[in-house]
Amino acid sequence: MSRIGVFTCWCGENIARTVDVDEVAKRVAELPGVRCSLNYKYMCADPGQALVREKIASEKLDGVVVASCSPHMHLKTFRKAAQTAGLNPYLVEMANIREQCSWVHHDRAQATAKAFEIIRLAVEKVRNDAALQPIRVPVTRRALVIGGGVAGIQAALDIADAGHEVVMVEREPSIGGKMAGLSETFPTLDCSQCILTPRMVEVGQHPRIKLYSYSEVEKVEGFVGNFKITIRQKARYVDVSKCTGCGECWNVCPLKRNSSEFDYGMGMRPAIYIPFPQAVPARPVIDKSQCAKLIRNGCGLCEKKCKAEAINFKDEDRLVEEAVGAVVVATGYKLYSIAKSQPKTTLAGYGEYGYGKYKDVIDSLQFERLVSASGPTGGVLKRPSDGAIPKSVVFISCVGSRDNAKGLPYCSKICCMYTAKHTMLYKHKVHDGQAHVFYMDIRAGGKGYDEFVRRAIEQDGARYYRGRVSKITQEHGKLIVRGADTLAGIPVTIEADMVVLAAAMRPADGIEELAQKLNIGYDEFGFLMESHPKLRPVETNTAGIFIAGACHSPKDIPEAVAQASAAASKVQVMLAADELTREPEIAAINEQTCAACFTCIRTCPYHAIDRAELRTPRGAFIKNTARVNPGLCMGCGTCVSVCPSKSADLQGFTDQQVYAMVESLA
C-alpha cells in the first residue's frame, strides 16, 4: 500500500495543548507511502469525517490512519466513513495520541515526538492490513432463559411476545422464584403473589414458551446464534401430561411432616407436593428422599388414588436437547447462611447471633413466610418456638453484608427497604407490638423509598438504633439483644420475643458451575460479570449470553425486571436478523502448516478451536488440522502465542504487521 492518508485530530485542546499537531502532520507527510497528511480540530465531527471521505476519493487512498483518541471511542465512526467513501473499513487504523500520549504527558516537545512515533506504527500497520470481510453466522431464532424467577419471567415474556420461541429452564418444581414467597413488596405494600402469579400463568399458557420445570442445564455447546443446550429433566415421578393437578395425591400422602423448602422450614409439606397453590406448572413432584414407596417400596397410596394414572414410580432423569440462538441467565439469589457452619472457607458465620440455636432467631425470608397471607400460619404472625404472638421484635440489618470479617464486604442493597417493610407489616399485624431496628446506614435510594423508611419510623413507630448488635442470648424465654446506639454513644439491651436477621444476598447455588458451562465470568462472590459496568450492563463477555436479575448483583424487584427487559431487548436485536455479523479480527489457522499438535485447542479460553481433517475433493484423508470456529473466536490471540509451528495468526493483527511496526521503531 502506498497511498495512505493520515488525519491528525486536535480533539479541541485535548491533544493540541500538548502535541504540536502541525509539526506532527508535517513529519508524517514525509513517511514513505503517505500520500496526504492533514490535521483538523475535530476529526470525529461531520466536517472532519467529510474530510476523510473526500480525501479517500480524491487521492484514491488505499489506507487511512486517524490519529486521535482510543479506538474504543471512534474506530467505528471512521470505518463507517471510509466505507461510505468506498474503502474497505478494515483498512482504517487509529493511532491513539490522546489517552496514550497527550493526556499523560506534559512536555510538549517529547509528547509531539511520541505522537509521531505512535502514528508511524499505525502507518506501518495499515500498510500490512488486509481487506477483511465481516463474518456472518446463521442464527437460531429461539432463546433460552435460565431461571424462572421474576427476572426470568419478564425476559421470557418479552422475548416471546416479540415473536420468538423461548425455552425456560427452572430448577424448582414451580416457577416464581423468591418473589412468589414474599408477603408484600416495598414501597407500595402490594401483595407479591397477586402481582406475580398473573405473569406466571402467562408463562405457563404462552404458545411460544416451552417450560422445563424441575430441570437444570446440563451442558452447553456451540456459539452465539447456534447454542446446543442439554437439559436434565429431573425425575418427578409424576407424568405431567396425564396429571390434572387435582390434589388427591398430596391430600392422601401420609408423610405430611416434611420441612417445606418454599416456607424456608417455617411450614410442613407432604412427600408428594406442589410448593404452593398457584404453582406453575400446577403439577406435583415426589421427594424421593422422603417417599415411602421410593425408599422401601411401601405406601403407594397416591398411585392408588390418582384417577389419571399419572404417578410413575419408575420415572428417571431425562436429557433433552434444545437449539437456541441466545441465552439469558437469571438464576437469582439465595440468602447467606447465618449460622456458624459455612459452605465456603472464605466465609464465616455468626455464632454470636444464635441463629439455628434459638428457634425465634430467623432470617428475613422466613419472616416473609410468617407474615404472608398464604404462609404456614395463615397470615397470623406466630413465632416459631411456641406459636406465641411476639410483642417485641428486633430486626438486624447488615447480617453478613458489609462485614469483612465474615467475608462479604458488599452491601446487599435491598435489606434497608425490606426491613422497613417488615416493621410495617409487623405493626399492621400486631398493633401493640414494638419493632426495633439495628442499622448502620439507611440506603433508600429509589422512587418513594426514603419516604417509605420515614413512614415506618414516623407513622408505624419503628424504633431505629444506629449500631450493630454484638450478641444475642436467651434468658427466661426472652431473647436478650445486646446492641449499641452510636448516636447516643451507649450500649442498648432489648428483651425481644423474636429476632429477624436481614441476611446478605448471595448468588444461587451452583452459579460457578453454570458460569463455567456457559463460559462467562463471575466475581469472587459468585456474582456474574457484565461486559462493561456502564455501557454493556446486561451483556457478558461471551457473545449471545446475557444476564438479568440478582445473579449479577443484589437488586430489588423493579431493577431485576428492568434488567430482564433490557436483556430481552438485546436478545430481540440479535434474533431480528437471519444472520449475525461479527468483526473479522479473529484467529485463522494455516491448515497446510498446522502440525495437529492441538496445543491451541487446550489453551483456547473460548473453546473456539476444533479438530478437523483435510481431505482431497474425493474424500481421501490428507492430514489432521486445527480449525477456528468463527462464531466463537473472540480474537484474544492465545493460540497465536502457543502455536509451535506458527500456523495460527490473528487477522488484522498478524505477526507480520506487529513485526513491521516494531521494526519501524528501530
Partner 1 sequence: MENQALGQVPSEHLPVHFPSPIQVANCYQCGKCTAGCPVAMHMDVAPNQVVRLAQLGEWEKALRSRAIWECVGCQTCSTRCPKEVDCAGVMDALREASLARGMAAPERFSVVAFQKIFLENIRRNGRLNELELIGHFKLDVVLHTGRIPFLFKDAGLAPQLGKRKKLHLIPGKARDRGVVNRIFERCASERKP
3-state secondary structure of 237: coil
| Interface pattern 411-450 for partner 1 (x via CB under 8 A) | -----------------------------x----------
Among 492, 597, 612, 660, binds partner 1 (CB under 8 A): 492
Contacts of 537 (CB under 8 A, 6+ apart): 530, 563, 566
The least CB distance from residue 503 to partner 1, in Å, is: 14
Total number of residues that touch partner 1 (CB under 8 A): 23
- Spatial separation of the C-alpha atoms in residues 7 and 50, rounded to whole Å: 12
Short-list 609, 619, 622, CA closest to 648: 609
What sign does the CA torsion over 43, 48, 49, 54 have? negative
The least CB distance from residue 345 to partner 1, in Å, is: 17
Report 619-648 residues binding partner 1 (CB under 8 A): none
Q: What angle do CA 411, 417, 423 make, to 5 degrees?
A: 125
Residue type, 523: D
Contacts of 122 (CB under 8 A, 6+ apart): 65, 67, 93, 94, 95
Does residue 345 interact with partner 1 by CB under 8 A?
no
Does residue 148 interact with partner 1 by CB under 8 A?
no
The three three-digit cell numbers of residue 439, written as one number = 442499622
Among 208, 242, 482, 607, binds partner 1 (CB under 8 A): 482
Among 296, 316, 387, 405, binds partner 1 (CB under 8 A): 405
Which region, judged by CB under 8 A, interacts with partner 1, from 117-125, 363-371, 488-496, 644-652?
A: 488-496
Residues in the chain: 666
The least CB distance from residue 427 to partner 1, in Å, is: 25
Report 351-370 residues binding partner 1 (CB under 8 A): 352
Among 98, 178, 283, 402, binds partner 1 (CB under 8 A): 402
Evaluate whether 139 touches 575 at the Cβ level (below 8 Å): yes
Does residue 466 interact with partner 1 by CB under 8 A?
yes
- Spatial separation of the C-alpha atoms in residues 15 and 101, rounded to whole Å: 8
The least CB distance from residue 524 to partner 1, in Å, is: 17
- Spatial separation of the C-alpha atoms in residues 158 and 7, rounded to whole Å: 45
Strand partners, 7: 38, 66
Long-range contacts of 109-114, Cβ-Cβ distance < 8 Å, separation of 24 or more: 111/18, 111/19, 112/19, 112/20, 112/23, 112/24
The least CB distance from residue 406 to partner 1, in Å, is: 7
Does residue 70 interact with partner 1 by CB under 8 A?
no
Does residue 111 interact with partner 1 by CB under 8 A?
no
Among 47, 198, 254, 491, binds partner 1 (CB under 8 A): 491
Residue closer to partner 1 (CB basis): 470 or 641: 470
Residue closer to partner 1 (CB basis): 458 or 495: 495
Does residue 617 interact with partner 1 by CB under 8 A?
no
What sign does the CA torsion over 549, 553, 558, 564 have? negative
Among 70, 486, 592, 593, binds partner 1 (CB under 8 A): 486
The least CB distance from residue 478 to partner 1, in Å, is: 17
Evaluate whether 633 touches 587 at the Cβ level (below 8 Å): yes
Contacts of 227 (CB under 8 A, 6+ apart): 140, 144, 220, 221, 323, 324, 325, 326, 327, 544
Residue closer to partner 1 (CB basis): 471 or 611: 471
Which region, judged by CB under 8 A, interacts with partner 1, from 322-330, 396-404, 566-574, 650-658?
A: 396-404
Which DSSP state fits 355? B
Residue closer to partner 1 (CB basis): 297 or 493: 493
3-state secondary structure of 82: helix
| Residues engaged in binding partner 1 (CB under 8 A) | 352, 398, 402-406, 440, 466-471, 482-486, 489-492
